[in-house]
Structure 1
Amino acid sequence: MLPATMFDFLSHKMGFFVVCVLKEAKTVISDKVVKVSPTDSFQFHDIFNAATNEQFESYGVQVFLRKPPEKWVYVEEGLEGDISMLFELKFTHIKFVLEATEASVQEPQGPNAFDLLMRNSQLVCLPEQRKEDTRRDLLYNDIIKLLQSKEVGWKSGTHSTLGKSFVERLTAALWYIDPHCTKFTERSLSLGEFFDGLNQYRHDQHYNLFYFTGRHAKYNLMRDKLEQLASSLELSAVQPWATNEQWCNITEEVFILTSSMQKYASNLEKINKSMKQIHLSDTPARHPANDLIVYTIDSCRKIDAQYKQLQDHLLNVDYYTEVDLESFLPKDAIQRYRYIKDLQIQFPVTLYRYYQGNYLGTINYIWKVPSNSEVQSETAHARVITTIQEKLPQYFSRQMRKNVLKKYSLVKTITPAILRILYYDLTGDAAVASNSISKELEERLRLMLELEDPSIICDLRQNNGFKGTKFDTFWNEMNAYFNENLPAVNDRRHGNVLYMPLAISIRDLRNIFIQRLDEKFVPGTILIPSEEWIHLQFQPTNPIAKSAKQYTGRFNIKFMVQARQLRKDHPDTHYCATLFRYLREFAILYRQYVSFICADDKHKVPIGEGVNTSTGVRNKKTMVFQETSLVACDHDFTKLSLTPSVIFFCNIPESIENSFYSGKVFVSFKDTVFQSSSAIRHTTEFYNAISTYHSGNIPPILCLYTDGGPDHRTIFGSVQISLICLFLHGDFDMLIAMRTAPHHSWTNPAERIMSILNLGLQGVALVRDVMGPESETAFAKLDTLDEIRTAAKTNPTLQNDLRECIKRVQQLLEGRTERLVLHNEPIQCYNPADETTIDEFFNIILLIDQTLKISETTSDILSKKTHLQQFMKTHCRQRQYVFQIKKCGQSSCTICKSVQLPHDVFDSLDWLPDPIPSTVDKDHYAKFQTVYQSETTEQHRPTLITTIANSERASSSILVNTRVREFIQCFQCGRMRCLYSERALSAEDKIACQIAIDNWDYSCGSPLVPEDHILYNKVFVREKISCETPMELAYYSCRKSNVNCDVCYWCGHDNELAVPSESLKSKYKSLYPCCNLCRNAGKDIFVRGEIKTNTRAAKRRKINN
């Protein structure tokens, strides 16, 4: 059906109608009210023209009338019909049906198939234009329009294949160089006149506007990319279609473009080779001895007005007094050159010019000299030059960096004198006094030494920043440095923002990277950003401040001191840092035979009870649908949780200066209720992961590095037994297990993985599945983990339901975690070891002693196992922070299997040495190469030779037995420590205190809660203690009943206690428990309050006499 129009007569007298238009049974104009001024000869065509604005004049029109609900009635007169019939017949609707004229309806006679094929083969076509969703699509379409204006194209249907490929390659080339067109122009490289005809270029605009306006990494022109785009474009331009005469001019322009791209690429390669040669040189690229020009300019009678200010200034200074020309020179480079070249002064002057190279420009000094040559002094000239050269920036060589590393890397004790020397090396200020180094600066210097930061020499080179991509090499080096140098993870582990107290200032940090880049590239080839631009790449210290708008956030680093974690030091910090260095150098020495593993557990991930509960990771902005909200309930009162465990297989570098922060990561999510972290579980999973990672070809040496928790502390019997099981299962020739110093678990490379795992946990809310009614009822009555575990032992149904209800959550987190990567290496999840596997793993130790049980692994019990003790005596070495196991190599041994290492390598294999003072410098620890394969002891461990000052944050009146409110257990040593408060805790404070005890790992000497916690100034724990400190006396005498059971005063364990003699009981009022293990170690029963009854009686008798 052809178009139609319909009117509803609303007011007969005023001439109002309702109109709609249909075309081919489709509505063209919807119902609308049209006003028509009535005339004497008022006909239907007046209404029709008013409604359609006379846009359907070429169509015939049929008229229909109707009064709803009746049918339409045809009007024979059509548009010539009188409108009065509407009133007479009481019709209310009019419909105009448009029909095509006979000429338009007549179908032309089509050509035959052969003519059609011949005609199409000669048609010249261009590729179809794209929908302009992006600016790149706009460039693509403008190229097609430009080709269309030149009346060129492709025949025989090749426009959609060869033609499209050519236009796409041309678009890719122009898009890549579009932001950098000025670089080509500055180097006299033409892009071709043809492309100047593109629409945006005709208006002096760019296509890639996002490059200039977007906040993203901006790319530099790369040689490889330019050559690849040019060669692909030339490949299209040499095809047969391009030889057609109509394409000749265009292909010539294309070759001009590709030639310019190749010339620019060649120039980049030439510059790169030149810079590499400079970097590989042992001397700086620029030095005053080689790049200095000094010459004298004679006086002149008249001078240009631009030199008047300089001459007036020189008149007011003495002879041979240097003046920096920088403030007198124009800003424009060309004008600066002409200013110096045409320098005019009415008295003789000497000009000093030193070209620094790169973007640093030339340093210019000038001084006045006497007009009489006989009065001029060469000595004065030399003094001025010497004075100027002292002001010049200094560029330190790589050898200086190595010398400083050698000087400070193994320092034994960080004394004020050493800090002054280090400060001098950093700043060049030799006059610094001890009291001028602030506490904050001292902590930063100490941390530099603890982390063995190799790049601590200042390079004062400065350069203006640029918000492009020319500094990408520098940014990549920064990122690598942060990954390699043990930045401290936020101790609350919320989010993946790291804190990096590794430099005194931004300038120092900048120079660290300059030194590193000079080792890898030719000095001068890598562009260096300014200090301010480096500072803006970090995260803002205060994200809500106005200045935070200027930060790019390229690196998740805050340049600040990590006060929350660094406030608690430990005497063994540098001792353990040296031990870790020894372990890394040991691994490098036997690199092809070693598997190096770092392991750690992340904080618990709570699972909601019937409501989605946050994972506890501090959220950042997350993408969600606009109509939805991202919400989760609090996680403080959940019963179930998962514990992520990380096993990090480190790639061992070839040098100690290279990074250990790359390799394969394995992660598991353990059920906290039934899969609690223990030493035997960890070692079982270590073995499974090792077998998977090495595909059954297990290296003969294993190095483990963990934190000092109860499941990793190497002095615990349970940990030692578990390591021996791992040693036997893996058939290792040697196993070394090392832990971090207390309060320094952040030095463990596995801690770096935690911030990555936070990405998978961020913005996630978890809830367990619903269990059966009986299990839900039983579970509702349970609160603590101990209650849940106890109930599960007697109720198998509850145990099975609890395991099943969190499986979906485990699978969800595993799926998200396996999407994460470390250095492009995907993280792999593994299943936690089950009880059967753990039991089977433990049974191998029965080869040593048949009486050992998995539930009896305390040091007291193990000390009575004769066969085990004999094995440990001949195969093991125990230290405070290291536990080592090594095959004895004896053929008569029934426990050790044959040695896997080559015999010459095994013969050279020795125990990892203890740090000892260097024989050359007693203030430094000896190098690994010096002490390896020599007999050492840990007598130089600071905690063995120093005492801990006893000054507490709380007053002495609070730290008494009557103020003990609760106890907390150290996760490092297992001792119970007392929590004190001046007043009794309120119900709210008790809940907060219990949450802190349950959720946070406490270590001796640390505060109970952070400074911003409500209990920080209410509840106290002794902070001037360590894991070496015995039990607090208040623990035994406090008023809390049924808690302070008899435990050993020295070790805090409830092992078999020694029975005190009657003589001790008669001499002292208080005798504190002591276990047999501590007694055998040489410790005596601690006593207090000597009974002096007889003494007093003797004194009375003496007085009476």
Structure 2
Amino acid sequence: MLYLLVQVNESIKRIVPEHVVSIEFTNNQFSDLFGAVTSGEYGDREVEVFIRREKSESWKKVDNGLKGNLEMLEVLKYSQVKFCLIEKTHLDTPQITNTLNAFDILMNNSYQTLLPQHCTEYNDCNKLYNEIIDLFRNQNVGWTGGVHDTIGKAFVNRIMNAIWYIDPHLSTLHARSCNLPVFFTQLKTYQDGETYNKFYHTSHHKKNPLSQQKLVYLSSSLELSVSQPWANNDVWNQVIPATLSLIEILKKYAGYLTITTTNMNILHHSDGSARNPENDCTMYRIIACKNENLNDIYSQLNYVLLEKQMYEYIDIKQYLPIDIMKRYRFIKELQLTFPIGVYRYHQGNYLGTINYVWRVPENEDELNETLKARMLARIHKELPQYFTRQMRKNVLNKYSYIRKVTPAVLRMLHFDLTGNAAVTSDVISRDIEERLRLILTLADPNIIFDLRTNNGFKGTKFNEFWNETDAYFNEQNLLAVDERRHGTILYMPLALSVRDLREIVTERLKIIYSDPLPFTIHIPSDEWIRLQFCPTNATTTRSMHHTGQFNVKFKVQGRLLRKSSDDAHYCAALFRYLREFCIHYKQWTCLISADDKHKVPIGEDVAVSTGVRNRRSMVAQNSTLAAADHDFTKLSITPSVTFFISIPNEISGSFYDGQVFVSYKDATFEP
């Protein structure tokens, strides 16, 4: 089987483009290959055959022509074949005496109307280009003088760019009465009920709306073409008016976008709301109808209002139909068996209208303006408020100088304090605000989950190393609580690098499992060990990479730093002996850790100094900061914390597990 690149040419014109053909080389000639490629269309023509190995080589003519065997391609390892048709010469036709000269040929060609050539269709944009040319050919239009490849091609490209850009937004333009000209709806794809720019809808890229700058650019480029002299020719009577209509559509919607953008910028920078009850509400009275004339769709509303007191309003949103036109008729034809008042507030945009109704007395003499005013005050209090961006900026800028307050929290404070019902345009910010609102509503700190526990490698590859590290911390008593007893995260009481920790744990593993270590025990890198600890600052971006496998911050607190002492080894050994004693006699031992906290003074309402954590305080200019000494309070309560430690089975176990009990003692009778 041969796989060949075959093409068919006539003079300098390529009739059949180069493509791959498969054919058996045994018992086949070049005539069989030529017939398969051309489907027998040129069987009566004389053909020359040329072959070559690759494109860098020159063509080599086959002497036997179509009678040559294909086996030569297999022997010579040639894979490219070109068939050239020889032009027919009519010898029997008498020679015309009056032949045209070159000048006459050029003049005749200059009067022929030509169109740009089709391009290769790699995508739908090329397809649109070719269909525009086909549409022009059906209208028998074209360019003379050989400008079809310059001016003509530029005109077709400009129409293609305009239609391609507005193709995904035809429904948007139709909503503003900007319809595509009928002439361009005759394009083949539109006739088939399809669109060109399918990538806009199927891709995962951002869907950009129509741009005013882009529309102006496209309309200006089309104006450059239609203002040229060739556009005044009568053959373009169908195309040019349609192009002018397309230009008008682009300009009309660009003008609409300009006006809308200007109005929105004015609104965004305004210090007042776009909608308020002063300008956007209507209130009117509807007289009663007879019981037999009551429409069935108002029966439920009529019954509910009949049970209400005078001037007790309700929102009729739940009684409105879902269909827009039915909803419109429901409000327009509203009439009950008793007089009612209607209050309508137009929120604008897509939010619709808020409708309140209430019962009113039948006689005008019984109208109570006081109750009516109170009712309107309650209605105005319930109406949603939509603040502009400038109003929100004014509030956020005022409190943005407070440290450790994120923009999301500031926006939540703004919404809660002002009652602003506007929704944040950014999707991510909107999700954050919804979660903050849920957290603040539930007031449950356990709803927050640290997702850093999901970080990193979840296999068991380094389990032996982590277990031995945990045992090393417990055995050497290398963990300390917070210096202020805040939080549950422990700290390192001494300076220790990650590299030293890695070497220490590795040596301990070698003692247990022999040296060298078995292939089943793996040692992590220094960076991976560091990421197993809690981050020193949980609010930084780098903290997202920590896993928090060890509830320890790899840093030393300033309060735990001490100078070297001769008794340091004695104290550490004494505490170790104490723990080993408890482990050895575990069944007869109860290890308790107890501590009395600072006294809580009670009694007279007199400021008493605590004597600890002295900091600067703010005092008025002519005042004196004075407080009674903490030793002279008459009565006080002492909180006492007792920790019953669960004794582990070995020294490497944790001595921080157990039960904690808090009690209170009278400082006078229980010192």
User: Which TM-score band (shorter chain)?
Assistant: 0.5 to 0.7
CA–CA distance in 1 between the matches of 2:247 and 2:553?
Answer: 74
Question: Is the alpha carbon distance of 1:1001 and 1:156 closer, same or farther for their aligned partners in structure 2, counting shifts above 3 Å?
Answer: farther
CA–CA distance in 2 between the matches of 1:978 and 1:311?
Answer: 80
Paired position in structure 2 for 1:138: 127
CA deviation map 1:787-842 (0-9, x unaligned): xxxxxxxxxxxxxxxxxxxxxxxxxxxxxxxxxxxxxxxxxxxxxxxxxxxxxxxx
Describe the SS at the equivalent of 2:496: strand
Paired position in structure 1 for 2:35: 28
Describe the SS at the equivalent of 2:128: helix
Amino acid at match of 2:421: L
Question: Is the alpha carbon distance of 1:188 and 1:368 closer, same or farther for their aligned partners in structure 2, counting shifts above 3 Å?
Answer: same
TM superposition shift of 1:215: 1.8
For the 8 Å contact 1:967–1:978, the answer to whether it is kept is no
Question: Is the alpha carbon distance of 1:244 and 1:187 closer, same or farther for their aligned partners in structure 2, counting shifts above 3 Å?
Answer: same
CA deviation map 1:119-170 (0-9, x unaligned): 2112111111122211111111111111111000011111100000000011
Question: Is the alpha carbon distance of 1:165 and 1:303 closer, same or farther for their aligned partners in structure 2, counting shifts above 3 Å?
Answer: farther
1:409 aligns with 2:401: yes
CA–CA distance in 2 between the matches of 1:215 and 1:280?
Answer: 33
Paired position in structure 1 for 2:199: 210
**TM-score, length basis structure 1:** 0.36
CA deviation map 1:255-308 (0-9, x unaligned): 111112112211222222223333333321111122121111112232444444
Describe the SS at the equivalent of 2:374: helix
1:1016 aligns with 2:544: no
User: Alpha carbon RMSD of aligned pairs, Å?
Assistant: 5.3
Paired position in structure 1 for 2:333: 342
Describe the SS at the equivalent of 1:28: helix
1:258 aligns with 2:247: yes
Amino acid at match of 1:151: N
1:371 aligns with 2:362: yes
CA deviation map 1:28-56 (0-9, x unaligned): 349xxxxxxxxxxxxxxxxxxxxx99978
CA deviation map 1:45-93 (0-9, x unaligned): xxxxxxx9997886899xxxxxxxxxx9xx9xxxxxxxxxxxxxxxxxx
Describe the SS at the equivalent of 1:263: helix
Paired position in structure 1 for 2:644: none
TM superposition shift of 1:1031: 3.8
CA–CA distance in 2 between the matches of 1:137 and 1:403?
Answer: 53
Paired position in structure 1 for 2:353: 362
Paired position in structure 1 for 2:177: 188
For the 8 Å contact 2:534–2:548, the answer to whether it is kept is no
CA–CA distance in 1 between the matches of 2:548 and 2:436?
Answer: 39
1:329 aligns with 2:328: no
Residue of 416, 422, 427 corresponding to 1:427: 416
CA deviation map 1:978-1016 (0-9, x unaligned): 9999x966678894486656789998799xx99986962
Amino acid at match of 1:170: I
Residue of 380, 383, 396 corresponding to 2:374: 383
CA–CA distance in 2 between the matches of 1:262 and 1:237?
Answer: 15
Paired position in structure 1 for 2:258: 269
Structure 1: give runs of 5+ residues left out of the alignment.
4-17, 31-51, 62-71, 76-99, 415-419, 429-456, 464-473, 480-499, 510-559, 566-616, 620-633, 635-946, 961-965, 1042-1105
Residue of 131, 142, 146 corresponding to 1:157: 146
1:461 aligns with 2:450: no
Question: Is the alpha carbon distance of 1:408 and 1:227 closer, same or farther for their aligned partners in structure 2, counting shifts above 3 Å?
Answer: closer
Describe the SS at the equivalent of 1:230: helix
CA–CA distance in 2 between the matches of 1:175 and 1:1022?
Answer: 59
1:125 aligns with 2:114: yes
Paired position in structure 2 for 1:168: 157
TM superposition shift of 1:171: 0.8
Residue of 1000, 1017, 1030 corresponding to 2:561: 1030
CA–CA distance in 2 between the matches of 1:214 and 1:102?
Answer: 51
**TM-score, length basis structure 2:** 0.56
Paired position in structure 2 for 1:287: 276
Amino acid at match of 1:354: Y
Question: Is the alpha carbon distance of 1:217 and 1:380 closer, same or farther for their aligned partners in structure 2, counting shifts above 3 Å?
Answer: same
For the 8 Å contact 1:124–1:153, the answer to whether it is kept is yes
Question: Is the alpha carbon distance of 1:338 and 1:409 closer, same or farther for their aligned partners in structure 2, counting shifts above 3 Å?
Answer: same
Structure 2: give runs of 5+ residues left out of the alignment.
1-7, 9-25, 48-63, 68-84, 439-447, 463-481, 573-671
Question: Is the alpha carbon distance of 1:1014 and 1:997 closer, same or farther for their aligned partners in structure 2, counting shifts above 3 Å?
Answer: closer
Describe the SS at the equivalent of 1:394: coil
Question: Is the alpha carbon distance of 1:375 and 1:271 closer, same or farther for their aligned partners in structure 2, counting shifts above 3 Å?
Answer: same
1:241 aligns with 2:230: yes
TM superposition shift of 1:339: 3.0
TM superposition shift of 1:211: 1.6
Among the aligned pairs, what percent are the same residue? 31
For the 8 Å contact 1:19–1:29, the answer to whether it is kept is no
TM superposition shift of 1:192: 2.0
TM superposition shift of 1:335: 4.2
For the 8 Å contact 2:412–2:433, the answer to whether it is kept is no
CA deviation map 1:313-363 (0-9, x unaligned): 434544433322223334444443333222232322211111122332221
Superposed counterparts of 1:797-836, under 5 Å: none
Paired position in structure 2 for 1:604: none
Paired position in structure 1 for 2:301: 310
Paired position in structure 2 for 1:449: none
For the 8 Å contact 1:1004–1:1026, the answer to whether it is kept is no
Describe the SS at the equivalent of 1:161: helix
1:949 aligns with 2:484: yes
Aligned residues: 458
Amino acid at match of 2:484: A
Describe the SS at the equivalent of 1:359: coil
Amino acid at match of 2:196: Y
Superposed counterparts of 1:27-66, under 5 Å: 27-29=34-36
CA–CA distance in 2 between the matches of 1:216 and 1:1011?
Answer: 29
CA–CA distance in 1 between the matches of 2:402 and 2:558?
Answer: 25
CA deviation map 1:511-548 (0-9, x unaligned): xxxxxxxxxxxxxxxxxxxxxxxxxxxxxxxxxxxxxx
Amino acid at match of 2:557: S
Superposed counterparts of 1:638-1037, under 5 Å: 948-950=483-485, 968-969=496-497, 991-992=523-524, 1016=550, 1026-1027=557-558, 1029-1031=560-562, 1037=568
Question: Is the alpha carbon distance of 1:205 and 1:55 closer, same or farther for their aligned partners in structure 2, counting shifts above 3 Å?
Answer: closer
CA–CA distance in 2 between the matches of 1:1016 and 1:29?
Answer: 75
Larger Rg belongs to: 2
Amino acid at match of 1:28: G
Describe the SS at the equivalent of 1:505: helix
For the 8 Å contact 1:125–1:154, the answer to whether it is kept is yes
Amino acid at match of 1:949: R
Amino acid at match of 1:948: E
Paired position in structure 1 for 2:434: 505
CA–CA distance in 1 between the matches of 2:118 and 2:101?
Answer: 30
CA–CA distance in 1 between the matches of 2:503 and 2:564?
Answer: 13
For the 8 Å contact 1:355–1:362, the answer to whether it is kept is yes
CA–CA distance in 1 between the matches of 2:207 and 2:161?
Answer: 17
For the 8 Å contact 1:21–1:29, the answer to whether it is kept is no
Superposed counterparts of 1:1048-1063, under 5 Å: none
For the 8 Å contact 1:233–1:258, the answer to whether it is kept is yes
Amino acid at match of 1:459: N
